[in-house]
Amino acid sequence: MKSVSPRSTVSPRRTAFRITGSLVLLASAVLGLQALAIGYDLEREIWFLRATGYIGLAALFLSLSITPIHRLASRLQSRRLPPAHWLAFRRTFGITAALAGLAHGTLAFTTYLDWNWQTLGATPYLRAGLVTLAILTALLLTSFPSLLKLFRVRLWQHLHRLAYIAALFLLQHLLLAPFAPRKLTLVLFAGLLLVAALRFLPLPKKQ
């Protein structure tokens, strides 16, 4: 009987989950420790809001960048990584973005916004954030095959194209939000745009 190494039994999704989860936990620990040094309540709240926001932003950008980078990698490398790994990371980053977004939204609503739900719909940057969150939540719920099966969801790809729209709402959110640095926002989105352009690279012909 042929022996199977334990490593090969780990699915790409699990690998992606472990790596991403570790990164998020590490980042959370570092940011949490830094937050302990902040003595002023409002500043600490803003710190956490920024931390969750940046984690969500990074995860969404990574998720959106996977496919274009995969295309580039496919053209550059003779030995291509299995597509399943790329897809697993894309999915995990997307889930992370949605979860970080939910944490960011919940924190904002319960601290800085002081449960002021009326202002959510009335203030453009908050509304943009809310729409981003709604899209990411919808994508999160349709990211699990069991749920897709349970709700008999078809055409999920069409729904997941809203990830790009979510990024645009995120841009609006950051351009109008009080504490978001505008320069960093523009640089990040310009970078994302450049990476996204790689998506139009033609795939290499199959041997």
Q: Does 7 bind other proteins (CB under 8 A)?
A: no
Q: Does 181 bind other proteins (CB under 8 A)?
A: yes
Nearer to other proteins, 44 or 85 (CB): 44
Contacting range for other proteins; rule: CB under 8 A; set: 17-25, 77-85, 87-95, 106-114: 106-114
Which of the residues 119 through 138 are near other proteins (CB under 8 A)?
119, 122-128, 130-131, 134-135, 138
Q: How far is CA 181 from CA 13, 49, 97, 174, 207, in A?
A: 34, 14, 20, 8, 47
Closest separation in Å from C-beta 121 to other proteins? 8
Q: Does 203 bind other proteins (CB under 8 A)?
A: no
Which of the residues 21 through 60 are near other proteins (CB under 8 A)?
39-43, 46
Q: Residue-wise over 21-30: b if at least 16 C-beta within 10 A, else e?
A: eeebeeebee
Task: Give the residue among 106, 104, 92, 136 at the shortest CA–CA distance from 31.
Answer: 104
DSSP-assigned letter for residue 77: -
Q: Hey, what are 141's tokens? A: 């719920």
**CA–CA dist 205, 207 (Å, integer):** 6
**Residue-level length of the chain:** 207
Binding site for other proteins (CB under 8 A): 39-43, 46, 112-114, 116, 118-119, 122-128, 130-131, 134-135, 138, 148-149, 152-159, 162, 165, 169, 172, 175-179, 181-183, 186
